[in-house]
Amino acid sequence: MNMHKKSCLVQRLSHYTDLDETSLDSIARFEREEKDVSKNEEIYQEGDHNIHLYVVKRGWLYSYADLKDGRRQIVEIHHPGDIIGFPDIAFTERTTVLKAAEDARLCPFPKKDLDEVFKASPQLAALLFALAVRNQVIMIDFLRAIGRMSARERIAYFLLDMQARLRVTNKVTPGIFRLPLNQTEISDVLGLTNVYVSRSFTALERDGLISRSNGTVEILEEERMKQICDFSDRHTKLDTTWFPGAYATAG
Amino acid sequence: MNMHKKSCLVQRLSHYTDLDETSLDSIARFEREEKDVSKNEEIYQEGDHNIHLYVVKRGWLYSYADLKDGRRQIVEIHHPGDIIGFPDIAFTERTTVLKAAEDARLCPFPKKDLDEVFKASPQLAALLFALAVRNQVIMIDFLRAIGRMSARERIAYFLLDMQARLRVTNKVTPGIFRLPLNQTEISDVLGLTNVYVSRSFTALERDGLISRSNGTVEILEEERMKQICDFSDRHTKLDTTWFPGAYATAG
DNA sequence: CGGGTCGTTGACCGTGATCAAGTAACGTGG
DNA sequence: CCACGTTACTTGATCACGGTCAACGACCCG
């Protein structure tokens, strides 16, 4: 009852720059419609015609890519406040499958709405651009993890990354967070198997770096964890000095 | 003597949409300055202050990320016509190292130039945005390869990807191209070792899928290669129908 | 109580890493 | 012109990380 005066998208975007009126109007348009999806539902498939983007209001979702023989790779995890679908706007068809990791609520909006943003709201355009390219850096980090880290290091990396993401919107209890993904899903994120995810989790727990209970994880030794996987947080800071208009925090 | 009436950046960007005058002016500003770099030179380091982007005029380069213990992951390979540095514009510091794989020529331009683009040239802004998010899809494919493919499949994927990239600008002899990277570098792209890259290359050659001589590779059996790694080309087509203005090829 | 999902643990195996030696191509200086 | 160093690629032997297969227990829900 007390929330919703500020949507989580506005909240997220305001974190990076002061939004002008035009920007706020555009964002409001993004969130006109709402759609509930239930756990394990697949919202779209690879190859589907691609006309909408989605704002996540509630729940975790993820995007994955399949190989023919059943192997799959989860390539992005979507949290409340995320916009889903940017990677695909350059194409007419979906390149991944979007699946709900738990019950969730989405706001679909047509990608054609973006042309208005580019014409009328350079500030928001620049911000979305910045977020899109920031995502690329996040994927670069991720690639480094998958390509060059051991199983143990990957798990550490994964947990720290989830934590850093969640910290942007929720200022909840530090170090502890809900993880609504099963180990098979985590293995598909990290390029491992569910069995080895289990073993690595157990090992990290045995060494006192983390602890688990139910669907939540607590990071006990953040510094040691960061050392393990050479982690750097890409989520909290954003350089907005090059943004057009008077809204840049040019300091 | 005969080229340079159209820069390779204009050539590349024109491939996707008809550029208006404002866009062409902006692009011209990107290419005012030139700088030659020699093989193995590192143009910037991780952590360097980050004020420029670069247009590649000539030669191959790559961006890599290090782990403390010397392991490294090459995260992007840059060809003539590419713009280098978009991922970093959301940050004040470099997140990767840029290194020249061979002698090359770059056009540095300040990222502050982008604000003009967002204010005055919505078309170019949209195109750059589209290319940035397209890059994300390319990285998703890549992630799938690193995370879930065998060494043999990864090599196949890598060669097809290089070929698809080069085809956008150069319409040269199909199936054959120069590959100015050594096997250690390729191993750092694919998350393997130089030894196993050598073995996999030899195996592909033995099976008649490719052939090599000097620094060039020929893809003999493109279809079988594509099957091996479930390849799809992300480089030739781009959806521009949502672009602002009358320039969209809305067909 | 019975079926389903999920995590854990054990035994075994294979892909690809590691270590090391050898070869070929190339440029340099004697 | 040949000795020499360097770099790149290849090939062999061995090893280990993580995959595979399978069984089992915990929990949940009908």
Q: Which of residues 194-213 of B touch A (CB under 8 A)?
A: none
What residue of A is the nearest CA neighbor of B191? A147
Q: In this complex, how many residue pairs, one in chain A and one in chain B, have their CB atoms less than 8 Å apart?
A: 186
pLDDT at B73 over 80: yes
Question: In the predicted model, what is the mean pLDDT of residues B224-248?
Answer: 84
> Protein B151 CA to nucleic acid C14 C1', in Å?
13
Confidence tier at B173 by pLDDT (50, 70, 90): confident
pLDDT at B1 over 60: no
Task: Give the structural domain span for A81.
Answer: 8-121
Place of tokens 């479930």: B230
pLDDT at A2 over 70: no
- Rounded-to-integer distance, Cα B5 and Cα B7, Å: 6
Which pLDDT score is estimated for B209?
A: 97
Question: In the predicted model, what is the mean pLDDT of residues A175-204?
Answer: 97
Q: Does at least one atom of strand D sit less than 7 Å from the CB of A204? A: no
* CATH number of residue A20's parent domain: 2.60.120.10
What residue of A is the nearest CA neighbor of B49? A239
Chain B residues near residue A116 by CB distance under 8 angstroms: 244
Which pLDDT score is estimated for B247?
A: 42
Q: Which of residues 73-102 of A touch B (CB under 8 A)?
A: 73, 75-76, 86-92, 95-96
CB contact under 8 A, B147 and A73: yes
Residue A21 within a domain: yes
For the stretch B87-110, pLDDT in tens is: 999 999 999 999 999 999 999 999
CB contact under 8 A, A144 and B67: yes
Best of A93, A119, A128, A143 to disrupt the B interface (most B CBs within 10 Å) is A143
* End-to-end CA gap in chain A: 37
Q: Does at least one atom of strand D sit less than 7 Å from the CB of A182? A: no
What residue of B is the nearest CA neighbor of A92? B239
Residue A206 within a domain: no
Place of tokens 């290090």: B66
What's the domain count of chain A?
1
pLDDT at B123 over 90: no
Which pLDDT score is estimated for A118?
A: 85
The shortest CB-CB distance from B244 to any of A119, A143, A241 is to A119
Q: What is the per-residue burial (b if ≥16 Cβ within 10 Å, else e) of B62-91?
A: bbbbbbeeeebbbbbbbbbbbbbbbbbbbb
Residue A126 contacts B, CB cutoff 8 Å? yes
To the nearest whole number, what is the mean pLDDT of chain B? 90
Inter-residue contact B129 to A132 (CB < 8 Å): yes
> Protein B205 CA to nucleic acid C21 C1', in Å?
24
pLDDT at B177 over 70: yes
Q: Is residue A77 classed as helix, strand or coil in its secondary structure?
A: strand
Which pLDDT score is estimated for A116?
A: 87
CB contact under 8 A, A125 and B114: no
Residue B49 within a domain: yes
For the stretch A226-241, pLDDT in tens is: 999 999 999 988 888 8
Residue A234 within a domain: no
The shortest CB-CB distance from A144 to any of B65, B111, B116 is to B65
Using CA atoms, how far residue B170 sits from A104, A187, B215, in Å, is 46, 40, 17
Phi, psi of A82 (to 5 degrees): -75, 150
What residue of A is the nearest CA neighbor of B16? A90
Q: Does at least one atom of strand D sit less than 7 Å from the CB of B184? A: yes
- From B1's Cα to the closest Cα of chain A, the distance in A is 35
For the stretch A24-66, pLDDT in tens is: 999 999 999 999 999 999 999 999 999 999 999 999 999 999 9
Q: What is the dihedral of CA A63, A45, B139, A227, to 10 degrees?
A: 20
Which pLDDT score is estimated for A209?
A: 97
Which pLDDT score is estimated for B226?
A: 96
Phi, psi of B141 (to 5 degrees): -60, -40
Q: Which residue has the higher pLDDT, A185 or A8?
A: A185
Q: Does at least one atom of strand D sit less than 7 Å from the CB of A196? A: yes
Q: Does at least one atom of strand C sit less than 7 Å from the CB of A195? A: yes
- From A87's Cα to the closest Cα of chain B, the distance in A is 5
For the stretch A128-170, pLDDT in tens is: 989 999 999 999 999 999 999 999 999 999 999 999 999 887 6
Residue A101 within a domain: yes
pLDDT at A251 over 80: no
pLDDT > 70: percent of chain B: 94
For the stretch A77-118, pLDDT in tens is: 999 999 999 999 999 999 999 999 999 999 999 988 888 888
